[in-house]
A and B are shown apart, each in its own frame.
Chain A
Amino acid sequence: MHRTAVKQVVMEGVLDANDALAQANRTQFDEAGTYVVNLMSSPGAGKTALLERTLERMHGKLRLGVLEGDVQTTLDADRLSRFHVPLVQVNTDPGFGGECHLDANMVRSGLSELSLNDMDVLVIENVGNLVCPAEFKVGENTRVMVYSITEGEEKPLKYPLMFRSADLVLVNKVDLLEHLDFDLEQFLGYLDAVNPGVERILASARTGQGVDEWCSWLEERGAPS
């Protein structure tokens, strides 16, 4: 048997399949008039705590829904269930060993359980991870990153992919500033080094500082026109 080698030019984007699905999600969101936030951070930065404060304040003002992404457990969804908003938990662990991010297809699988027509804003709480979620579009209108000051100043330089893709950075846990050696000016300088001029809000989900500003930001974009 004679074998010959052939070379074939492909030129296909590795994430094209995901991007196409993300676009399909986006079309669905647009048709329903739902503004979608992809909320990303490291584990423990305070995404769920921020959502709790947000749901408290936005009750009666903005119809919110939440898609919770986690590798395992429904702990976050359980925390938010008391707000009685449309809520679905997507666990990524049936994927290949438990994916560390949500992709467009996983989000799509959760959408069947959400009534988009009853929502002005859908917040997709991504899996806590500072790298992978940034790579996968899910059909969102905007990307918001929660960054906790307990993570140190230098992370924008180490993980530029996510910081570069964020439209807004919520600098969380600022109530701890007086107890930490965290240098806020240095952090904001690093943030501007990777994403010049990106919007930022100093916040504490614990004390409520900055939460009104964040809610206004969300309302400006998500309120039905």
Chain B
Amino acid sequence: MHELAIADSIVQIADRHANGRRVTKVQLKVGHLRQVVPSALAFSFELVAQGTSVEGAELEMEEVPVTGSCRGCGVESRLKEFPLQCRACGSDDLRVLEGEELFVESLEMEEV
């Protein structure tokens, strides 16, 4: 379950940026290719956040769909499943443009 380790990193990042303030929301971008299970991540996040400035914060996950551009014909495709194929020419030689993201986008905090 890599969600636990991922949750741990998210809490560390948020706690460091919060600098003593209470975090109320963490916005996360997750590419579809990262195989993160949202319910497992939410559960882990709640657990790991306990006792930190992130305790009780909402974890908002935005899933980024997979898109790629064809190295052959240059057409961009939205990719729903494997194999990842160009919608125009059917080639599988694609450069993944989006769908591999895994980053903390922003935090909402309470300022006293």
**Could you tell me if A97 and B4 are in contact, using CB atoms closer than 8 angstroms?**
yes
Residues in B whose Cβ lies below 8 Å from that of A17: 9, 12
Q: Does A110 contact B (CB under 8 A)?
A: no
Check A100/B10 contact, CB under 8 A, given A10-B106, A193-B82, A196-B83: no
**Could you tell me if B10 and A14 are in contact, using CB atoms closer than 8 angstroms?**
yes
Residues in A whose Cβ lies below 8 Å from that of B24: 5
Closest A residue by C-beta to B4: A96
What is the total number of residues of chain B having a CB less than 8 Å from a CB of chain A?
34
Residues in A whose Cβ lies below 8 Å from that of B106: 7-11
Q: Given the complex of chains A and B, what is the CA–CA distance between A183 and B78 in angstroms? A: 30
Q: Does A161 contact B (CB under 8 A)?
A: yes
Closest A residue by C-beta to B26: A10
The smallest beta-carbon distance between A61 and chain B, in angstroms, is 36
Contact-size category for A: 35 or more
The smallest beta-carbon distance between A100 and chain B, in angstroms, is 6
Chain A to chain B contacts (Cβ below 8 Å), 28 pairs: A6-B108, A8-B106, A8-B108, A8-B109, A10-B13, A12-B103, A12-B104, A14-B6, A14-B9, A14-B28, A14-B103, A15-B102, A18-B9, A96-B5, A97-B4, A100-B1, A100-B2, A103-B5, A131-B2, A132-B1, A135-B34, A156-B82, A157-B82, A159-B35, A160-B33, A160-B82, A161-B35, A193-B83
Check A13/B2 contact, CB under 8 A, given A3-B110, A5-B110: no
The smallest beta-carbon distance between A101 and chain B, in angstroms, is 7
Closest A residue by C-beta to B85: A193
Residues in B whose Cβ lies below 8 Å from that of A76: none
Residues of B within 8 A of A (CB): 1-2, 4-6, 8-10, 12-14, 17, 21, 24, 28, 33-35, 48, 82-83, 92-93, 102-112
Check A7/B93 contact, CB under 8 A, given A131-B35, A160-B82: no
Residues in A whose Cβ lies below 8 Å from that of B21: 6
**Could you tell me if B2 and A12 are in contact, using CB atoms closer than 8 angstroms?**
no
Q: Given the complex of chains A and B, what is the CA–CA distance between A101 and B35 in angstroms? A: 15
Q: Given the complex of chains A and B, what is the CA–CA distance between A189 and B34 in angstroms? A: 22
Q: Given the complex of chains A and B, what is the CA–CA distance between A99 and B21 in angstroms? A: 30
Closest B residue by C-beta to A8: B107
Closest A residue by C-beta to B91: A196
**Which of B6, B8, B83 is close to A194, meaning CB atoms less than 8 Å apart?**
B83
Q: Does A4 contact B (CB under 8 A)?
A: yes
Q: Does A192 contact B (CB under 8 A)?
A: yes
Closest B residue by C-beta to A133: B2
